[in-house]
Chain A
Amino acid sequence: MRRSVISNMLIISALIVVLFLLNVALGSVNIPTRAAWNILWGTADQDPIWTNIILKSRVPQTLVAIVAGAGLAISGLHMQTVFRNPLAGPSVLGICSGASLGVAFVVLLSGSIGGVALSRMGFAGDIALTVGAIAGALAVMTLIVYVSQRVKGNVTLLIIGVMIGYVANAIIGVLKYFSVEEDIRAYVVWGLGSFSRVSGNQMSLFVTMMCVLLPLSFLLVKTLNLLLLGDQYARNLGLNIKLARLQVISYSGILVAVVTAYCGPINFLGLAVPHLCRAVFRTSDHRILTPACVLMGALFALACSLIARMPGIEGALPVNSVTALVGAPVVISVLFRRRKEDTAE
């Protein structure tokens, strides 16, 4: 591996550590940095309220941001490669919309049919929400995989993904019409995206799942590198295209489904981070891009989560707004640079 690659990875890792500490130290409740540091290492008895805030809220939130960011970045990378489209990303294929639809069904229908507002049910409600999101995302993904076996062009598939998104949004609109206001509010809050909604046992479950899922992405590096050449060249080099597409799409679909279920739909991160990695590492090699996306995704999510909870901001900004505000300029600048390169050559 080239030296610049290793040094870049080290720089990103160092930044992750810095942002991790900042995420723990900063927040709406003012805790002195020294106290936060001590609590983190459990060295001294500190104010129990501070200890609670840091260990029960800030640290879990930060961990969730790290794994969610890494997961979305990896799924974005995989989708951009398999669809050979720079604009492919978790939200484009309609998988996020699928998750939203699942949640909408659970949240909005429980009120109007079951007669209970889900938002009042507490923990059970949370579980129901998660299950709804995963079911919705997997349903759309199954549909996409099924279609991908039958449709030849990747562009067609991408368009179908976008169409699924529209249909899902339309159905959600209809559901909203028949729902009680409380539930609509709960749904809207979920839709804003957040790294902090996941707590306690669910957090451990989520982080564990992601820690199992993320390393699996390394199993696909050779497949992804071959897919870069296009279907026919890849086939000629011994790759079973149908199987490869199935593996890559379902793997990245599951990643998105899990992240979306726990954190809500988070836009732009999955789209922007792979572009950022290609620009920084100047390579298309997935042996480098895979670890790069894991690190860069975590870094990006930490930065967004930090911005969302900047001191002085009451509560927290919706993560979705922050990722879009940071991510959109990144994507635009990358695309502009690409055009410039093309015309210059």
Chain B
Amino acid sequence: MKQPTIKIESLSTGYRGKNNVTIVAHNINATIHGGELTCLLGPNGAGKSTLLRTLSAFLPPVEGSITIMGRNLRDYSDKELAKAIGVVLTEKTDLRNMSVEDLIGLGRSPYTGFWGNLHDEDRQKVAEAIEMVGIEPLKDRMIQTLSDGERQKVMIAKALAQETPVIFLDEPTAFLDFPSKVEIMQLLRNLTRTMGKTIFLSTHDLELAIQIADTIWLMDRNKGVSIGSPEDLAIQGTLGEYFVRKGIKFDMERGMFRIENEYNRCVRLTGEEPIRSLIEKALNRNGISVIDSASDIAIDVSSDRIKLEQKDKETVEFTSVSEMLNSLFQ
């Protein structure tokens, strides 16, 4: 049984103005466990950032309480908080002329003295953080020369150097190319496994989150927050409820979302896997559904050719999918 690190009780997030209170999310009750990767998903404007800001103590809760490691968030001093929670934000720092190593060294600030000088122990921690994130080659580079993905890793290393049991990340995969997204997510999951960190992040990368997260939080302005493992949420149909709209369909078998196509023709498709499935996808994309029973059009595939039989027409063989599609739409 994993230990709950963060307890959220009847929490309402929002902004307190002078005369009025703008509530963004209502009555959230939840726990976040140590050694787990939790992903917060939801459409834009659902209040993901506000929730993260509230959990990071940048914003006071409008109502309810947040307990981190047995203590109310309110009772932490600035210094104690800096040793409990590390954050990685979306905002790009416009840092210049600072080496990666020095920036990660700033993550040690809660532990350094008046001048902020690093001691041997601090240097050791910085080196460890760099190693864990795997950015040794970047160590001496200046921040302004890094790509977005590299920069994100550096900020994660900063959070690791901070040695906090809890790390909050606001859309760490935004602006990254797909391989970098996967890399960052896997890195974060590994950190929960190897170091027992509690990692909570917001993201728009639904498919990636479904595949990697231990727990998923779904957030919506109207529906509130739903929490569960990706599979439970799929079985309950909650995932579908939150994200399905016109043109998007949740594919239970594959556990992921699919673009829904409207079909106006059907063909019989036979042949060797996996080529058969690929061809099916290509046909679906073009508004053609696949059936097993007899049809006016029949396609048979093997590893070296695609055979197209059409009623009242000659049987043709093709070597590429696009050629076959072209002929089908003539």
For A338, list chain B residues within 8 Å (CB): 96
Cβ A233 vs Cβ B144 within 8 A? no
Instruction: Say which one of A104-112, A176-184, A263-271, A283-291 lies at the interface with B.
Output: A283-291
Cβ B106 vs Cβ A225 within 8 A? yes
Instruction: Say which one of A49-57, A237-245, A318-326 lies at the interface with B.
Output: A237-245
In whole Å, how far is A68's beta carbon from the nearest beta carbon of chain B?
27
Cβ B95 vs Cβ A238 within 8 A? no
B106 partner, pick from A84, A229, A232, A283, beta carbons under 8 A: A229
Per-residue CB proximity of A99-132 to B under 8 Å, as 1/0?
A: 0000000000000000000000000000000000
A284 partner, pick from B78, B97, B107, B115, beta carbons under 8 A: B97
Cβ B106 vs Cβ A240 within 8 A? no
B25 close to chain A: CB less than 8 A: no
Cβ B94 vs Cβ A84 within 8 A? yes
CB closest chain-A residue, reference B111: A238
Cβ B89 vs Cβ A287 within 8 A? no
In whole Å, how far is B191's beta carbon from the nearest beta carbon of chain A?
18
B114 partner, pick from A84, A222, A235, A239, beta carbons under 8 A: A222
With A225-B106, A345-B144 as given contacts, are A235 and B58 in contact (CB-CB < 8 Å)?
Answer: yes
In whole Å, how far is B117's beta carbon from the nearest beta carbon of chain A?
8
Instruction: Say which one of B80-88, B124-132, B280-288, B303-311 lies at the interface with A.
Output: B80-88
Cβ B78 vs Cβ A239 within 8 A? yes
| B interface size (C-beta, 8 A) | 32
For B56, list chain A residues within 8 Å (CB): 236
In whole Å, how far is A338's beta carbon from the nearest beta carbon of chain B?
8
For B114, list chain A residues within 8 Å (CB): 222
B85 partner, pick from A236, A278, A282, beta carbons under 8 A: A236
Taking CB atoms and an 8 Å cut-off, the chain A residues in 237-257 that contact chain B are 237-240
Per-residue CB proximity of A300-339 to B under 8 Å, as 1/0?
A: 0000000000000000000000000000000000000010
A341 close to chain B: CB less than 8 A: yes
C-alpha spacing A284/B116, complex, angstroms: 14
A226 partner, pick from B106, B115, B144, B145, beta carbons under 8 A: B106
For A345, list chain B residues within 8 Å (CB): 144-145
A47 close to chain B: CB less than 8 A: no
Taking CB atoms and an 8 Å cut-off, the chain B residues in 89-118 that contact chain A are 89, 91, 93-98, 102-103, 106-107, 109-110, 112, 114-117
A35 close to chain B: CB less than 8 A: no
Cβ B98 vs Cβ A285 within 8 A? yes
C-alpha spacing A287/B109, complex, angstroms: 14
B2 close to chain A: CB less than 8 A: no
B79 close to chain A: CB less than 8 A: yes
Cβ B107 vs Cβ A237 within 8 A? yes
B58 partner, pick from A222, A232, A341, beta carbons under 8 A: A232
C-alpha spacing A284/B99, complex, angstroms: 9
For B93, list chain A residues within 8 Å (CB): 228-230, 233
Cβ B81 vs Cβ A238 within 8 A? yes
| A interface size (C-beta, 8 A) | 26
A45 close to chain B: CB less than 8 A: no
CB closest chain-A residue, reference B85: A236
B162 close to chain A: CB less than 8 A: yes
Cβ A237 vs Cβ B97 within 8 A? no
C-alpha spacing A233/B85, complex, angstroms: 11
C-alpha spacing A341/B143, complex, angstroms: 12
Cβ B95 vs Cβ A229 within 8 A? yes
C-alpha spacing A210/B198, complex, angstroms: 50
With A233-B89, A237-B162 as given contacts, are A228 and B109 in contact (CB-CB < 8 Å)?
Answer: no
In whole Å, how far is B326's beta carbon from the nearest beta carbon of chain A?
44
In whole Å, how far is B68's beta carbon from the nearest beta carbon of chain A?
14
Interface centre among B81, B110, B116, B144 (most CB of A within 10 A): B116
B110 partner, pick from A221, A237, A285, beta carbons under 8 A: A237
For B82, list chain A residues within 8 Å (CB): 236-238
Cβ B87 vs Cβ A232 within 8 A? yes
CB closest chain-A residue, reference B107: A237
For B58, list chain A residues within 8 Å (CB): 232, 235
For B115, list chain A residues within 8 Å (CB): 221-222, 287
For A283, list chain B residues within 8 Å (CB): 97-98
In whole Å, how far is A181's beta carbon from the nearest beta carbon of chain B?
49
Per-residue CB proximity of B69-81 to A under 8 Å, as 1/0?
A: 0000000001101
A237 partner, pick from B94, B109, B145, beta carbons under 8 A: B109
C-alpha spacing A119/B89, complex, angstroms: 58
CB closest chain-A residue, reference B145: A345
C-alpha spacing A47/B109, complex, angstroms: 59
Taking CB atoms and an 8 Å cut-off, the chain A residues in 147-171 that contact chain B are none
C-alpha spacing A284/B109, complex, angstroms: 16
CB closest chain-B residue, reference A229: B93
Cβ A284 vs Cβ B81 within 8 A? no
C-alpha spacing A84/B92, complex, angstroms: 13
In whole Å, how far is B125's beta carbon from the nearest beta carbon of chain A?
14
C-alpha spacing A225/B107, complex, angstroms: 11
CB closest chain-A residue, reference B95: A228
In whole Å, how far is A337's beta carbon from the nearest beta carbon of chain B?
11
Q: List 29 A-B contacts (CB under 8 A).
A: A221-B116, A222-B112, A222-B116, A225-B106, A225-B116, A228-B93, A228-B95, A228-B98, A229-B95, A229-B106, A230-B93, A232-B89, A232-B91, A233-B89, A233-B93, A236-B56, A236-B81, A236-B85, A236-B86, A236-B87, A237-B82, A237-B109, A237-B162, A238-B79, A238-B81, A238-B110, A278-B96, A284-B95, A287-B117
Residues on B lying within 8 angstroms of A by beta carbon are 56, 58, 78-79, 81-83, 85-87, 89, 91, 93-98, 102-103, 106-107, 109-110, 112, 114-117, 144-145, 162
Known: A225-B106, A230-B93; 11 extra A-B contacts, CB below 8 A, are: A222-B112, A228-B95, A229-B93, A233-B87, A235-B78, A236-B81, A236-B86, A236-B87, A238-B79, A284-B95, A285-B102
CB-CB nearest 5 A-B residue pairs: A238-B82, A222-B116, A237-B109, A284-B98, A284-B97
